[in-house]
């Protein structure tokens, strides 16, 4: 014989010679060597390793001490004790001891999408092995796929899905104006000059569900449309025309993209050629041409100024020849300038500046 103790938070099943005998509540017991007790936490599920639940429930003492729930494979069960969520219930017939408190069972259809009437606050207590959580940020839509099929669009907020045999996937879509840069497109001009073009654009998605119904990879689709439009426009122009007409290229590509992208619910807000990158040899040639052009422009300006200066002198000479008074005033102006810079110079006791004025007067007369 041996003694066992069952405490207040436990319940035991007594087996004699391998056969269920009775339920043991809290207390001390003396059992034979051919007997054993299977002890349970009274707050947990009654799940014996030695006898199935249906056989146990056929015993009156057992049936009266437990609450029973039967959850189907297509259902999701939850257990509350005294109004507080305790655990999820796996499919099948389940029994819980009444002494743990007032058991309450709630059963929901097991669908991939959580039903609208399910209390969402419970997810903070439910283990995440039972559900999938997606948070859709503001200014974002999420395209929901279930088993690869586009189902619907999720608005901003928190969304929950039960883990079932169906595969859940979400594609986030930013509904704000977004930017894209198409880098380094190698394009040949009509005069066989290879260029690299960087093209920038801003776009806005108008219908997230429509977009992913029509196009698998929107970014790649926009790149291809822009590349084809650039090749079409640049391939028929010469290098000089391209360098002098970036706005024309931008306008052509912008209109092409706007027309094509509208078909799959993308609005091209604006676009433009950001960079035109020339090969090194071509850059050197253009630099030489530019320097030569600037030198020629400088020479033209110099000659123009020389002609203007000569014409001004000629006009002045004609006026002084026709007007003696004007000539005299010009003489006095030069004498004044000499006096300002030299001061007084005396040679042989005379004032050279006064003599100079006399000489100029005699020469004129």
Average pLDDT over residues 164-178: 92
pTM attached to this predicted model? 0.62
Closest of 4, 1, 5, 21 to residue 13, by C-alpha: 21
* pLDDT for the residue numbered 170: 94
Residue with tokens 């920038």: 200
Sorting pLDDT into bands at 50, 70 and 90, what band is 350? Answer: low
Domain boundaries of the chain, sorted by first residue: 2-110, 124-174, 179-278, 323-365
**What is the average pLDDT value for the chain, to the nearest integer?**
84
Q: pLDDT tens digit string along 20-59?
A: 988 988 999 998 888 999 999 999 999 889 998 999 899 8
* pLDDT for the residue numbered 289: 61
* pLDDT for the residue numbered 71: 93
> Which class would CATH give 179-278?
alpha beta
pLDDT above 80: residue 365: no
Residue with tokens 């640049």: 234
Neighbouring C-beta atoms of residue 273, cutoff 10 Å? 20
**Burial annotation 191-227 (CB, 10 A radius, 16+ → b, else e):** eebebebebbbebebebbbbbbeebeebeebbbebbb
Q: pLDDT tens digit string along 290-321?
A: 667 767 777 788 888 878 888 887 777 777 77
pLDDT above 70: residue 356: no
Backbone angles phi, psi at 319, to 5 degrees: -65, -45
* pLDDT for the residue numbered 329: 72
Average pLDDT over residues 188-199: 81
């Amino acid at each position: 014989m041996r003694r066992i103790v069952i405490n207040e938070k436990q319940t035991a099943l007594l087996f004699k010679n391998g056969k269920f005998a009775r339920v043991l509540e809290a207390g001390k017991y003396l059992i034979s060597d051919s007997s054993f007790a299977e002890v349970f936490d009274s707050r947990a599920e009654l799940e014996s390793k030695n006898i199935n639940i249906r056989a146990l429930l056929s015993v009156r003492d057992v049936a009266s001490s437990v609450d029973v729930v039967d959850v189907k494979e297509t259902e999701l069960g939850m257990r509350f004790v005294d109004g507080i969520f305790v655990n999820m219930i796996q499919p099948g017939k389940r029994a819980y001891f009444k002494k743990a408190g007032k058991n309450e069972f709630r059963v929901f259809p097991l669908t991939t999408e959580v039903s609208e009437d399910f209390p969402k606050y419970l997810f903070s207590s439910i283990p995440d092995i039972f559900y999938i959580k997606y948070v859709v940020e503001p200014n974002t839509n999420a395209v929901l796929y279930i088993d690869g099929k586009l189902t619907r669009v999720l608005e901003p907020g928190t969304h929950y899905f039960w883990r079932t045999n169906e595969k859940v996937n979400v594609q986030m879509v930013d509904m704000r104006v977004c930017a894209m840069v198409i880098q380094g497109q190698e394009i040949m001009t009509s005069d066989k000059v290879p260029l690299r073009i960087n093209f920038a654009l801003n776009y806005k998605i108008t219908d997230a569900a429509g977009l992913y119904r029509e196009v698998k990879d929107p970014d790649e689709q926009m790149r291809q449309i822009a590349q084809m439009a650039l090749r079409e426009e640049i391939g028929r122009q010469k290098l000089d025309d391209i360098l002098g007409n970036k706005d024309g290229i931008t306008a052509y590509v912008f209109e092409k993209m706007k027309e094509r992208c509208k078909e799959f619910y993308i609005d091209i807000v604006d676009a433009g050629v950001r960079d035109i990158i020339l090969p090194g040899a071509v850059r050197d040639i253009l630099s030489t041409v530019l320097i030569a052009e600037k030198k020629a422009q400088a020479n033209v300006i110099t000659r123009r100024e020389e002609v203007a200066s000569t014409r001004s002198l000629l006009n002045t000479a004609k006026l002084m020849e026709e007007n003696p008074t004007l000539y005299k005033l010009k003489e006095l102006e030069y004498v004044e300038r000499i006096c300002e810079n030299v001061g007084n110079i005396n040679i042989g006791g005379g004032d050279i500046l006064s003599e100079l004025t006399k000489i100029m007067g005699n020469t004129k007369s």
